[in-house]
Amino acid sequence: MAAKPGQCTERPKSVPGRTAVLPWRLAPGIALFAAVALSMIFAGSMLGLAISRPWLGLGLSPFAPVAKLQDEGALWLTAVEGPAARAGIPPEPARILSIAPLGPGAAGGAVLLTGADIMEEPDVLPSHAGMAAYFARQNQLAGLMAEPVELHIAALEEAGSDTPPPTAVYRITPERRRPLTSLPAAFWMQIGVGLSGFWIGVWIWTLRRGDWAARFLAVAGTGLMASAFPAAVYSTRELALPDPLFWALSSLNATGSLTFGVGMIGLFLIYPRRLVRNQFLFVPALVLGLWRLADMLEWIDGPALGRHLAILTAMGAIIVLVGLQFRATKGDPRDRAALTWLGLAVIIGAGAFVTTVILPVALGVSAVVSQGQAFLFFLLIYGGMALGVARYRLFQLDEWAFRILFYVTGVLLLLVLDAILIVTVIDERAPAFALSLLVVALLWLPLRDMLGRLVLRRREPQRGALFRQVMDVALTPPGHDQRAIWAALLEGLFQPLTLSPLENATQSSITDEGAGLVVGGVGGLPAYRLDFADQGRKLFAPADVALADELRAMLTNALESRAAYEKGVAEERLRIARDIHDNIGVQLMGALHSLEPRRKDQLIRETLTDLRDIVNNASNPELSFDEMLADLRAQISEHVFAAGMRMEWVVEGGDSVILPLANAHTLRSVVREAVQNALKHADAGLVRIVIRQGDDAIFARVEDDGKGFDISADYRGNGLENMRARIIALGGDLSMISGAGGTRIEARFPFGAERRRR
């Protein structure tokens, strides 16, 4: 069997005389949990680095708190807490001038501070020498923060004042560790983005470990995590980090960025269509890896060429490959839909980060948004990828993949919550675990179901409407009309791109790995093949097979019920014919030959009584409103469909009641007469019948789309006068409207005194 694009087809080779040994592999759920646990350890180490530094309690910003202050390059104080608040520093905005060591043994003097000291990303500097000097300065400041320091602060200038603002000196004793609460939102955003990208990438890889596309996706997720985690530490530092740590984190960030590029380039080289052979898949890794090595060895002149140009090149390659894949998937709606979803997510997510952060720096201007905020753009990629799995079965995954993901997430939440409770609230492990289990059961499990419905977009069809549609198929006489209604039902429910009849298919099944759905034939109706569900936006799933089988079962029961009904009608007709032949004929013949008037009248009255009993079936003289309408619809539909017309039958509201015989006969007569006129004279294509049961009256409307007639000229010649007479006799009213667009007859009459609930 031919391999699918991007799918590994290698199998373990067997040795003669030996049994082939399969490589040992973890189950998908366990493998995913192990990868998630490792990523949590990595995230914990980054968190440990972030809070292990001494803390002064200063909120710092390179931007002036007041727009009119244009002192470019200054470092501004925006908030104080902890040690700074205890040192008496007022919380008002001010400019920080310098920092100096305290104590007789302190070496060196005051160090002037600038806004550049807290820049998010040092690779914006023009050269490697500039970065080295910056790391050396950071190392000096980090050494000062480890001991008590003096901070020189200048208040803001007063408007219109020519005198310099007053300067104050404050002595701060730093805390040895930075508290968790002092970490800004940007830190947690970058950690969250790194975890999300890695988890989704590894999630798909654990389920399709032999697929090169899934491997490259895991590489990209790993690169995103390796880029976002260290950036979270150094971009949200309070003031400084020691040189070796800062350099290592910055280098890891750059390596992770290019690793993400390698993964995405490799992904679009083979997904959804393979563009190159396996031996060429490692070219992007080789090129970007050598580029990164040259940058680390400072063989390239500055970060602009060593880092930014490499990222821009990788982004350009991704865009080109998406374009090539778009051309390669021409004529394949399934692959084109998957590519459109995934390609747009990557181009918009990664492109937005490059456009707002990397490209401006490469051009020598400031980034448009903060790097910590820009990392949120990557959520567009991986959030879109998760939705793509649900909507288009990207990488041939289906809803079962989400069950594994939700299971691992639930276990992870349980363990994390247990650890938090032990550290913060409860000392004993057993009560903490029990409380964690209770919280997860009460919160996560309902939330998991809600997320499943939201992400997977499960659209459960309304069973009531579905049953009515199936009944429309069953009540339509066999032939082309019934086949057309059945095909329309399937098309409306699954919305395929194409629908075609099949021969000799008795079972429902998925074909072409989700591209097609076969709905087996039932009750003389042909089987159908449906291609590309939801107008080509998704593939068929096992749930669609179950729905198709449910439809077939409902239709089978409905057709059997219709056959039983028709059999009963035939038997009833035979009974009526037999009774008329045996009784009515004899009595009428006796009345005809009777010479005595009183005897003749008596025979006629008895004949009428017998005829009424025969027609209404004396063994069951009363029919409910619903049963009477069912009989009426069955009778009328035969005439309508036999004439080649379409019929719409609508019944609205009401309880199950029993009508008086006269009222039921009037309703049947009015509807029959109106439909008969439409069949004979209207030359219509559609007859619409609406019957509504109100609180105290019955409303009936029969309308067609025929040629109409002149009421004033034809009124007394077409039986409409008899209809009016019957309605008026019951205390109701009848109205008629006719014209070029068709004819509408409306009747309304009360239930009558004998109305009873069933």
Looking at domain 622-758, its CATH class is alpha beta
**Strands 686-693 and 697-704, how do they pair?**
antiparallel
pLDDT at 509: 87
C-alpha–C-alpha distance, residues 673 and 738, integer Å: 16
Altogether, the residues listed in the chain come to a count of 758
Nearest to 480 by CA among 642, 705, 679: 642
Q: How deeply is 333 buried, as exposed, middle or buried, from its count of CB atoms within 10 A (0-12, 13-18, 19+)? A: middle
Q: Any bridge partners for residue 499, and if so which?
A: 530
Contact in structure between 332 and 512 (CB atoms under 8 Å): no
Contact in structure between 552 and 521 (CB atoms under 8 Å): no
Taking only the tens place, the pLDDT of each residue in 535-587 is: 655 677 777 888 888 888 888 888 888 788 778 777 767 666 655 654 565 45
C-alpha–C-alpha distance, residues 534 and 461, integer Å: 14
The dihedral built from the CA positions of residue 404, 405, 409 and 410, taken in this order, carries a sign that is: negative
C-alpha–C-alpha distance, residues 300 and 246, integer Å: 21
**Strands 686-693 and 733-739, how do they pair?**
unpaired
Nearest to 490 by CA among 551, 538, 532: 551
Taking only the tens place, the pLDDT of each residue in 649-663 is: 888 876 667 777 667
pLDDT at 131: 94
Q: φ, ψ for residue 683 (rounded to 5)?
A: 55, 45
Contact in structure between 374 and 343 (CB atoms under 8 Å): no
The dihedral built from the CA positions of residue 171, 175, 179 and 183, taken in this order, carries a sign that is: positive
* Chain position carrying tokens 């590894």: 202
Looking at domain 184-397, its CATH class is mainly alpha
My answer on whether omega of the bond before 272 falls inside 30° of 0, hence cis, is: yes
The dihedral built from the CA positions of residue 430, 435, 437 and 438, taken in this order, carries a sign that is: positive
Helix axes 212-235, 378-392, angle to 10 degrees: 150
Q: Which residues of 287-326 are buried (b: 16+ CB within 10 A; e: fewer)?
A: bbeebbeebeeeebebbbebbbbbbebbbebbeebbeebe
DSSP 365: S
pLDDT at 545: 85
Model confidence pTM above 0.85: no
For the chain, which residues score pLDDT lower than 50? 1-24, 400, 422, 456, 582, 586, 618-621, 714, 716-718, 753, 758
pLDDT at 21: 39
